[in-house]
Amino acid sequence: MKDSLKQHFPIYSHTPNLVYLDSGASALKPQVVVDKVKEYYEQYGVNIHRGLYEASDRATTEHDNARGIVAQFINAEPEEIVFTYGTTHGLNMLATSLGQSLKKGDNIVLTTWEHHANLIPWQQIAKKTSVELRFIDIDDDYQIDLEDAKKKIDSHTKIVSFAHVSNTLGSKAPAEELIVLAKQVNAITIIDAAQSIVHLKTDVKKLDVDFLVFSGHKLYGPTGIGVLYGKKEKLALLSPVTFGGDMILDVSYEQAEWNDVPYRFEPGTPNIAGAIGLGAAVKFIESIGLQHIQKRETKLTNYLIVQLSSLPNVQIIGSSQSNKHHGVVSITIEGIHTHDIAEICNRHNVAIRVGSHCAMPLMKKLGLPGGTARFSVGMYTDKDDVDKAILALEDAIRIFS
Amino acid sequence: MDDLLYKDMILDLYKHPLNKKSLELFTTEKKSHNPTCGDLVTMQILFDDDGRVKDIGHQGEGCAISQAALSLITDKVKGLTKEQIVSISEEDMLAMLGIPISHARMKCALLGWNTLKSMMNEV
């Protein structure tokens, strides 16, 4: 029997036999999100903030509402929410802006499991400012090594930035502990919540984090929209790095005065449909219940790991404990390159992700040049999906035996 | 059931690759990378006094398609001159594989061929 949550996702009516296990790359879009985006384009698809007419007013209201919905979702204030184009954009903004005040002798602490989006922007800053990049290592169970974190974070650390959940391993970073360590040395803290936002209840006040970034499309929302959360007082100190219309209060030929936070960080016409669609996505998640989703996903991930482990020559690249996998399970199969695994999975309509998952340094460190085959789940994933994926893998193993 | 893509020949070359070795003496070498799937190859080629390929070796990691293609192309060029190697077309490479190659797998199928082509600019 079809799982009831699948009925909210129109892709399953279009492609009923789809086995989608690549939610970590992008979550499927529910009908309500598609409808909301369509509503904007059909009914009030004009610019925001400036138009003194009905449609613009409606668009502005809907855009503001979306900011409020997202703020509430992570327990922030609306003015602490900056709309970006995605996680990568948010991290680049932070690196470029915060990087301006760094100097030789300072260090930036990341982890060895960072996605390229939370590595390359910092590498660029490090090159310009000669600051040192440090990487907190992982332990034998693929978890963040807190003892190593204590060594890496020192009085010269200015920024600590890390992925809350590894997109490759599924492991969760001990965010609270890392933030406490960073605060002891007055370092700025940044969480890359791209993978975690959809699986874990995120409370920025409880985390006490300075900045947190995520993308809309991994949260059942549209692509091209993301969020940069910043504590009010931290955002106020951040200098804008992109400039143009709507981000100013007063302009002369010589200079400009910045608009209030968060608008000073949103120059130009934003992704209005994207923001409104993201608001709809968050409302949808809340209507299903994040806790309910989490319970389902935990059970399913456990089932997935048990089934995967029963296959010959399969190695799980991640914790041996299933509840330490947050929506993501990576494997390798001895004697079969990951690209061939994906090819054969696709024959069975099983969509997975293989390769380095934009975490090339981690793959090199783990000695996996071909990367891993990654299975990632969403609220719609059910046992049937897992069973079909296992059949596909059995086929791959048979072909290569 | 006969598999169109993973034909016995392809799987056999994947499990038992030809010319997968490193040369002690070589004319030139080239490292190539296919970041979409992490395929990595180092190719080494040795020309004799007559300008013909005396020996060729490749090493690295890759999927069945890229590994089979590497075996085929390295075997094909033995005894050939630089000009003859340059004249091997993309179509020739795909014909050697003799399997339907999707857009996504094209980089795998042509990794060895591309590497060899760029090496020819250096000899």
Q: Answer for the pair A348, A19: CB distance below 8 angstroms, yes or no.
A: yes
Q: A233 and A318 share a domain?
A: no
Q: Which of A237, A254, A286 is the last residue of a domain?
A: A286
- pLDDT per residue as tens digits for the range A317-339: 999 999 999 999 999 999 999 99
- A168 and A230 both lie in a single domain: yes
Average pLDDT over residues A175-179: 98
CATH of domain B8-120: 3.90.1010.10
Domain of A295, in residue numbers:
289-399
Q: Tell me: do A255 and A330 sit in the same domain.
A: no
Dist CA A204 CA A75 (whole Å) = 6
Whether residues A333 and A220 fall in one domain: no
- Are A207 and A304 members of one domain? no
- Picking from A344, A369, A400, the nearest residue to B40 by CB comes out as A369
Contact A194, A218 (CB under 8 A): yes
CATH number for position A305 = 3.90.1150.10
Domain assignment present for residue A15? The answer is: no
Residue A148, in any domain of the structure: yes
Residue carrying the six token digits 């690196």: A95
pLDDT in tens, A155-169: 999 999 999 999 999
Same domain? A240 vs A115: yes
The rounded Cα A269 to chain-centroid distance in angstroms is 23
Beta-carbon contacts of B31 under 8 Å, excluding residues fewer than 6 positions away, are B40, B41, B42
Does this model's pTM top 0.90? My answer is yes
**Hey, of B63, B101, B105, which one would you mutate to test binding to chain A, going by the most A CBs within 10 A of its CB?**
B63
- Active-site residue A345, yes or no? no
Question: Count of domains in chain A?
Answer: 2
Q: Is residue A266 domain-resident?
A: yes
CB contact under 8 A, B37 and A370: yes
Q: What is the pLDDT of residue B2?
A: 67
Do residues A380 and A8 touch, judged by C-beta distance below 8 A?
A: yes
Q: Are strands A107-111 and A372-376 parallel, antiparallel or unpaired?
A: unpaired
The catalytically annotated residue of A108, A304, A345, A358 is A358
Residue A238 sits in the same domain as residue A299? no
Final residue before a domain boundary, out of A251, A286, A321 = A286
% of chain A residues with pLDDT over 90: 97
Classified as helix, coil or strand, B54 is strand
Does one domain contain both A196 and A263?
Answer: yes
**Predicted local distance difference test score (pLDDT) of residue B40:** 84
- How confident is the model at residue A370, as a pLDDT? 87
Q: Which of A228, A253, A286 is the last residue of a domain?
A: A286
Of the candidates A103, A77, A197, which has an alpha carbon nearest to the alpha carbon of residue A159?
Answer: A103
Looking at the complex, report in whole angstroms how far the Cα of residue A368 sits from the nearest Cα belonging to chain B. 9
Residues A316 and A219 reside in one and the same domain: no
Q: How confident is the model at residue B39 (pLDDT cuts 50, 70, 90)?
A: confident
Shortest distance between the Cα of B47 and any Cα of chain A, in A, equals 30
Q: Which pLDDT score, from 0 to 100, does residue B35 have?
A: 72
Looking at residue A1, its pLDDT comes to: 40
Report ipTM (2 d.p.).
0.87
State whether A356 and B62 contact (CB < 8 Å). no
Identify the burial level of A150 via C-beta atoms within 10 angstroms of its C-beta, where 0-12 means exposed, 13-18 middle and 19 or more buried: middle
Query: Do A370 and B38 count as a contact with CB atoms less than 8 A apart?
Result: yes
pLDDT of residue A277 exceeding 80, the answer is yes
Residues facing residue B60 across a β-bridge: B41
Stretch A241-267: mean pLDDT: 94
Asked if A327 and A273 sit in the same domain, the reply is no
DSSP string for A263-290: GGG--SS--HHHHHHHHHHHHHHHHH-H
Contact criterion met (CB < 8 Å) for A355 and B36: yes
Please tell me the predicted confidence (pLDDT) of residue B37.
65
The reply to whether A322 falls in a domain is yes
Q: What is the mean pLDDT of chain A?
A: 96
| Contact between A276 and A66 (Cβ < 8 Å) | yes
The residue among B39 and A46 whose pLDDT is bigger is A46
Closest Cα partner for B60 from B96, B97, B33? B33
Q: How many CA atoms lie within 13 A of A352 on its CB side?
A: 34
Task: Indicate whether A19 belongs to any domain.
Answer: no
**A21 lies in some domain:** no
Phi then psi for A365, rounded to 5 degrees?
-65, -40
The domain ranges of chain B are 8-120
Quickly list DSSP for A36-76.
Answer: HHHHHHHH--S-SSS--SHHHHHHHHHHHHHHHHHHHHTT-
The yes-or-no verdict on residue A288 having pLDDT over 90 is yes
Residues A182 and A321 in one domain: no
Cα angle vertex A326, ends A9, A313, to 5°? 100
Of B3, B38, B67, Cβ closest to residue A399? B3
Residues of A whose CB is below 8 A from B40: 369
pLDDT attached to residue B122: 86
CA dist., res. A52 & res. B116, Å (int): 64
Query: Running DSSP on this structure, what letter comes out for residue A369?
Result: T
Which residues of chain A make contact with B105, given a CB cutoff of 8 A?
339, 343
Is B108 within 8 Å of A339 when comparing Cβ atoms?
yes
* A253 plus A322 within the same structural domain: no
